[in-house]
Amino acid sequence: MNHIEKREIMIDHYNNPRNKGLITNDEYKIVNMNNESCIDEVNVQLKIIDDIIEDVRFDGEACAICISSASIMTDTLKGKNINEVLSILDNYNKMIEGKDYDIKVLETAIIYDDINKQPNRKKCALLPWWGAKKIIKELNNK
Ligand code: ZN
């Protein structure tokens, strides 16, 4: 995928974010994430039933990188089991940090594979994914 294709996907997800808007329902766990180095503030919601991510939602005010990566995250994580999601989150983190990662598990999220060249934007791309990880961690600690 070249730079222009990556940018087009990002703009599409920014202009037409998938799974945006929160759901008021006890089955959804929610977390609020802030990035002080940008304008980003997002809420991430996960509905997990029997080890499966049944639904992923998000909402918030954020920059194009953060909104688009949240939208792509919802598409990527939905329908996966917890172990698959933890692997995706781990590999996504590695990719953003410029480390070796498993490209096969990341699907559309690979469009951010060169963001490590813009260190001040890394947190924009990571914030929603950290939110999903935080919810899963909190559930596992119960
Ligand atoms: Zn941002």
Q: Quote the ligand 1 centre to 34 CA distance (angstroms).
A: 10
The per-residue pLDDT of the chain, averaged, comes to 96
CA torsion sign, 101 to 3 to 107 to 70? positive
Query: Model's pTM, two decimal places?
Result: 0.96
Q: Quote the ligand 1 centre to 66 CA distance (angstroms).
A: 5
Q: Quote the ligand 1 centre to 63 CA distance (angstroms).
A: 4
pLDDT in tens, 86-122: 999 999 999 999 999 999 999 999 999 999 999 999 9
Neighbours of ion ligand 1 (CB under 5 A): 38, 40, 63, 66, 124
pLDDT surpassing 70 at residue 142: no
**Is residue 23 very low, low, confident or very high in pLDDT (cuts 50, 70, 90)?**
very high
Q: Quote the ligand 1 centre to 70 CA distance (angstroms).
A: 11
What is the reported pLDDT for 141? 80
**Is residue 1 very low, low, confident or very high in pLDDT (cuts 50, 70, 90)?**
confident
